Structure 1
Amino acid sequence: MNYKIHEFPNSRIASMDVCEIGKHKHHVTGLLEFDVTESRKKIREYNKIHQKKISFNAWLISVIGKTIKKHETACSYLIGKNKIITFDDINISVIVEKNLNGTKVPFPLVIEKVNEISVESIAKEISMAKNQNVTPKDIILQKRTGQIARIYYLLPKFLRLLFWKYLLKHPKLAFNKMGNVSFTSIGMMGKIKGWFIPISVHPICFGIGSIIKKPTVFDNEIAIREILNLSILIDHDVMDGAPMVRFINELRTNIENGLKI
């Protein structure tokens, strides 16, 4: 019998705990298709005439932040039994893949005030995070773990899960540590026809899939367009169905029209 045993970094333990807690969130899941043909064209034109380049993901994060700001309930936290708390800033936790001891490992990077900063600033933060050195003890990029965080990895599972439950019952602490929006993209890894549904403890989470060229109706004609597969998780505890639809409709308009490129 031949086999190999590999040790994974401590950050994977935190990811497993998040998945365990996230399964109990009352998220409503949407599987969406957005026509990003015009938006990607505008980004290519922008990069031709500007020295500071922007990526599609950086622009998409910017659009999401600015759109959510107009529908703030979508990123609110439940506090107590019948209250929600809404923060002024849109802080988005973005998954950045880094090389750790020869292994590619996803790390969350919290980009703050996404509703205010420029696309160029977002692109710069992501680029810096990718090039930043990390150790197996890091959980959140740009925020070095202290003694308490190191102890976290030594705790048994039931105590680690209690930590996450405590965090979510204290929204101010949760917002400070992980923001109020989650964004993860596998589309940059390769072309995948379909959607993936992430698990999250955030009030709202975006799973960005691939951009696929496919025939669709455009201006009453069949045309080959660039279609983005995107999944969205929204906490039904803080946002009802009708406001969800209005938010998604505005998001669709902003993404497909190339908001502020």
Structure 2
Amino acid sequence: MRSSREGPGRRDGGERVERPSPRRRATVDYMRAAGRRSVVHGLVEADVTRARERIRAIESETGERPSFTAFVVHCVARAAAEHPSVNAYRDWRGRTHVFDAVDANVLVETTVGGDRLGVPHVLRDANRRSVRSLHEGIRAAQAARDPTDLSLAAAAALRLPGPIRRLVWRLPRWFPRRWTALAGTVAVTSVGMFGPGGGWAIAPTNYTVQATVGGIAEKPRVVDGDVRTRELLALTVTVDHDVVDGAPAARFVDRVVELLEGADGLASWDDDPEAAGDGG
């Protein structure tokens, strides 16, 4: 009689059975918790031709290419500071906690073991920092020791039963201040960093507001009465409707697009970066 297994983790017919890693289980836990929020997704396009031209000019002048993600974080953080209703969490008692500092949780692209990964990193006080300061915070995170390393406590926590593990994702409702200290107040995730071309991405989130950066595509657009080819960024802005009403959310999105299209913060690249530090 033939054994049903031909080797560790492998079945007849070439099927391979793998156990999920602790980090994969954490991702699943996050998605389940985030899927319970009353979110609304807004799919918008922003003309980033001017910003991209300025980024290329800075690279030509200095030999250093500014992070496009840092530029987006700058615009989102500034808009959130101007519209603080999105920089908030609602607790289990129905109270809204509004924060002054905009702490942006970003996906930082790094390479581990030959694979390109996006790992979370919090840029503290993003609304008070220059694009260059945010850029340097992202570059420092990319150059840090393997960001996927887990402490012994974190590794042990990710091996707990699912219902217990998923309790951590309820922190925004239970303890908004503690969640902010751990993971920030807004999120910026860049799907476009992993491939060229246009297109939007829609993802659940555990934040009151999240900006998901999609692709950039060249499209015709009317500018000053003429049809010109422009670089248009596909941006998804996700807002928790339990915390923010539609009108304030729309004004926030309009402001983000305005700042992106105006290349806000890129003209002063040569200024000294601000001293505000990051949090991990």
Q: Same fold (TM over 0.5)?
A: yes
Partner amino acid, structure 2, of 1:89: A
Partner amino acid, structure 2, of 1:218: V
Q: Is the 8 A contact 1:53 1:120 kept in 2?
A: no
Q: Shift of residue 235 of structure 1?
A: 1.1
* Residue 194 of structure 1: aligned partner: 199
Structure 1 CA distance, aligned partners of 2:19 and 2:136?
A: 32
Between 1:88-97 and 1:17-26, the stretch displaced more is: 88-97
Mapped pair 1:123 → 2:135: yes
* Residue 78 of structure 2: aligned partner: 66
**Structure whose alpha-carbon radius of gyration is higher:** 2
* Residue 153 of structure 1: aligned partner: 158
Structure 1 CA distance, aligned partners of 2:145 and 2:56?
A: 30
Mapped pair 1:214 → 2:219: yes
Structure 1 CA distance, aligned partners of 2:66 and 2:87?
A: 25
* Residue 269 of structure 2: aligned partner: none
Q: Which runs of 5+ in 1 are unaligned?
A: 139-144
* Residue 95 of structure 1: aligned partner: 107
Partner amino acid, structure 2, of 1:75: N
Partner amino acid, structure 2, of 1:250: R
* Residue 46 of structure 2: aligned partner: 34
The alpha-carbon distance between structure 1 residues 216 and 44, as it changes in their structure 2 partners (threshold 3 A), is same
Give the fraction of aligned pairs with identical amino acids, expressed as a percent: 28
The alpha-carbon distance between structure 1 residues 28 and 191, as it changes in their structure 2 partners (threshold 3 A), is same
Q: Shift of residue 52 of structure 1?
A: 5.2
Q: Is the 8 A contact 2:130 2:265 kept in 1?
A: no
Q: Is the 8 A contact 1:98 1:106 kept in 2?
A: yes
Q: Shift of residue 47 of structure 1?
A: 3.2
Structure 2 CA distance, aligned partners of 1:135 and 1:117?
A: 23
Q: Shift of residue 194 of structure 1?
A: 1.9
Which of residues 32, 52, 56 is equivalent to 1:44?
Answer: 56
What is the total number of aligned residue pairs between the two structures? Answer: 254
> 1:152-171 counterparts in 2 under 5 A?
152-171=157-176
Q: Shift of residue 146 of structure 1?
A: 5.6
RMSD: 2.0
Q: Shift of residue 111 of structure 1?
A: 0.8
The alpha-carbon distance between structure 1 residues 176 and 255, as it changes in their structure 2 partners (threshold 3 A), is same
Q: Is the 8 A contact 1:181 1:203 kept in 2?
A: yes
Partner amino acid, structure 2, of 1:195: W
